[in-house]
Structure 1
């Protein structure tokens, strides 16, 4: 897209980068705040529009619930065949900072990024969601050094695939190894490697706790992210100025009316059904002191003939946190109101009775039961400072529930029981184990996946695989 055009009132500034789900462009909102616009591939978005709407709605629910660490979502809009996601400022991405700094960041910045992304991913997983495309290109760094996740769930929505949480954990470990590779030997490097091992064995919450426990050994400014914030500000440069708006006494003018429009875009409309309790960090598009009754420009800079008076349109354009108050119809006479109330009560009772009958007729939900376990290792021989990657494939009856299991390594006596939530219809569950081996020597290692419950036999089921380490 060209510099100066607008998308739903957000003026593009011309700076772009390729993301995992589309192309990002820096923009300025009608209120003069920095924003980001992600343009999806039209063909892919057309096939996945409903899934995109559901994914973005999940992010908005996370925002309303107080979840931190995600790039704030403002809106999802469409015009003709194109769909855009509008967010808070989406640059720079972590991979851009790495390229500018020769592929390396200081130990404190690396630890801050890994700590915050591990916490955010753990929170997303706790909400029953996943990211699906986590990496250096989907982590953005704000001007105060905070690491936020962008494009959560969008790639999976475009492809129509289900992404298990384990894929996010593996992606986090891959990024952590990449960032840790640039650190010299010392307490900082040792802490990063311990966090990687904790994530591999016990999950992201354990990695977060490991980094927090070792923060005293990190350079000053780690918790305040001083160097990361400075790197982000140096990359971003000055914030684009706000678009001029009408002054006192002049006719109301849309903030986007004085800039060109996307010729083929048509009128942009929101795809989201905004609730009345929008997150407080969604920026308002109205300039300070603007009159609530001004004509709203509902689209990418294209004025309309009549004001947009629908609740959805005004919330979308104004960023208000409550619905627009509309005039109430005159009250019905008392006798008519009593008849209406009685009729409504009868209908409600009939609906409740029908719902109870339908619920009683439904068959009971099938509980998950494990019928088999198959463990495989990617490489039978692991060389110096390598990793043995095991995967346990658990076969179930397709029911829903929680599987209790544990991995038993031949070199570790302590064992930690884990749980895996399984959805109805899933007949195969993958449980990974990554075994890091360092130092000279040779030995044979084995790992056993033991499913404790629930099983079809009522007894634990297990399988074992082995590898040979040579260095």
Structure 2
């Protein structure tokens, strides 16, 4: 069954689940990047402006644990936020999965990283406002990510309140301790750090780092979950009215975030020493050759032999000869003839050297030109900009068809544009394709929108380009028939 396409252009890969500020979907962008897509009901334009301001403020921090969502996409009275490259499981999902086993150092690590992220938000004059088990994610590498940062205060129109974040953080850590660490050694030390964190998160981070591992287990934790691991413990809900309706009947895909690994060592704490392998004894030494004393004829003296049961074989190097006719030394080896010296190579002329250099330069220039030509021909299509306008405003005419024209500027490369039209008050249109020829820098996309009956309405037409470059353009016009 075809997987639904959200108004952001992403393809749904899992069921919906509830967050604090709205509904989340796990989806894949057209280029295959994993995304978390959040839908927030926002009928009030002022509310949408506050959410945009909050998301931009969080994105300006450029913090890896506070994912940027970009400006929200408005569609049918709702805001759609996209966080790209975010993975992991929420703490609520880990608690409800039943297979997770967190020790005290792991809980202290999660508490310290969450407090560090909240401290970064507070230093920028922001507040999270929704610190909860559903908004704290733990990635496959043990990193902590905070979702929905600064959204709840923006939705309520309230100023940033770090004290609320500190209290919510303390309640979250106490819940983690009660869930996983009840009765473990040094849990009272962790709870004292939590109590101080309600007043000063930075001090809590410093004290959490100093909690020793001691005799606590130090093996890393691997959490395994079934296909729907990312939606365990939270109510699964259907897509909203303005989203595709096939999400409820689609078969559950293989979830890419089914394993989470949490380190059991605190930040900046040295790892426990590993095993050291040593030899069982000193390195063996090479025995020295046995000494051989002189043995005269008729003598049976054997002093100096090793106690091996047999005399050692004579050493040919230390052989001594006696008697006439024995040369004083070994004969000299014959002299081998030396090969003649190779003739000296003639020096290359200067003009020949210059010719070689010029030939190499010409070859290099030819390779650069060919490479540039191939790069220009093989480079992908890109969308530079898009402008949407009404070819002829309807004015006060009745029963008219409005011609909405989207003018797309490209980089002149060949390729295909995949897009869809989004009309106010209607379901998202299907994906359409437009072939672009090489050298064609302007592409026109049209929407025929028919109006019938009497009355007046202000309508919005949005072209949502999915590939090759995700971009949107919109126009607003008024239909009035007296």
Identify, as 1 or 2, the structure richer in helix. 1
Larger Rg: 2
Q: TM-score normalised to the size of structure 2?
A: 0.48
Q: TM-score normalised to the size of structure 1?
A: 0.49
